[in-house]
Amino acid sequence: MSKIKRIAVLTSGGDAPGMNAAIRSVVRTAVYHDLHIYGIMRGFDGLVKGDIKRLEAKDVANIIQRGGTILKTARSEAFRTPEGRKLAYEHIKANDIDGIVAIGGNGTYAGGMAFMKEYDVPFVGMPGTIDNDIFGTDYTIGFDTAINTAIEAVDKIRDTADSHNRIFFVEVMGRYSGFIALHTGIGSGAGGIFLPEIETTVDDISEILKRAVIRQKLFNIIIVAEGNPSGNATELAKKVKEVNPEFDIRVSVIGHLQRGGSPTAMDRVLASRMGHSAVRALMRGESGVALGIINDKITFTPFHDAIHKVKPLNKELVRMAEILAM
């Protein structure tokens, strides 16, 4: 028999499509197992302020298809302080909560880890971020939707690029990691992809564009991750134009469009699987671990590794993308 009777769920950090599907799965799995389940509003901020409400199965009806998060999200400054965490603990005790499912990225796991060093409350993490940059999982919740959104946007940009024979620098999200850029670039047939992990020079880009012209490619799409070390899309486009004034260049920044929208089937199923496993993990007595999916199997990685180990880009995919771009 599990000692866990009352659990809570929160979403923290940047929102990601599929977070609602994850909340629904956590709530319904908990109800199925006769647990009381609570929703914490605005991530750790709601925990510090005691903004916690009981959830029933019906409260998560009609949300599996919705982007964003019904629990709202925030990056909590108060929870970074010992005083804030003490308040959070008092609210956990006042509600008799035995364990917490925290859905978010590395910052969310770091918050859970800091808290568990001071207080004996089990946390299980679920990777909810469009960036796909979390060690210990092949995919994060929201990534698939984000790249589908970005690819749809690039398909549209392609039409106008083609009509005008223009070069478009399209910026996608990814401050520190290039998963979104790489997958968007491959999936949209981009002529070049520039990632935070790989240094590129203006000469490299000019070279790609000139090669394309030689083989009579009249328009081009260049995908740039926002965290590209040589500059974002606007900066790179400016530098390239300075040395190649003959090119007709435009910039398009997709931005937060990538964070919204109805989750794809992949994200809904992933979120449902992870939410279900997260509750069962808490019931088994697991703590301080992050859910993941590796080769289609649910896995658990200690928070410490999930936070500190870097998930590398697949080098073969990077190379393949270069070959296909020609």
Cα 194 from Cα 182, distance rounded (Å)? 8
Q: 16 or 274, CB closer to ligand F6P?
A: 16
Nearer to ligand F6P, 98 or 226 (CB): 226
Looking at beta carbons only, is 85 or 259 nearer to ligand F6P?
Answer: 259
| Helices 265-284/143-164 angle, 10° precision | 160
Given candidates 72, 259, 273, 276, which one binds ligand F6P under the rule CB under 6 A?
A: 259
The structure tokens listed for 305 are 């590794």
147 in Cβ contact with 180 (< 8 Å): yes
Q: Catalytic annotation on 138?
A: no
CA dihedral 278, 106, 320, 294 (to 10 degrees): -20
The residue within the footprint of ligand F6P, chosen from 43, 84, 127, 174 (CB under 6 A), is 174
Under the binding rule (CB under 6 A), the answer on residue 212 touching ligand F6P is no
Q: Does 131 bind ligand F6P (CB under 6 A)?
A: yes
3-state secondary structure of 310: coil
188 binds ligand F6P (CB under 6 A): no
173 in contact with ligand F6P (CB under 6 A): yes
- Using rule CB under 6 A, residue 315 touches ligand F6P: no
Catalytic residue selected from 45, 98, 131, 267: 131
Q: Is residue 12 close enough to count as binding ligand F6P by CB under 6 A?
A: no
User: Which of 139, 130, 126 shows the shortest CA–CA distance to 314?
Assistant: 139
Q: What angle do CA 4, 42, 28 make, to 5 degrees?
A: 40
Single-letter amino acid code for the residue at 160? T
Catalytic residues: 131
Q: What does the binding site for ligand F6P look like in residue numbers (CB under 6 A)?
A: 14, 129-131, 173-175, 226, 259
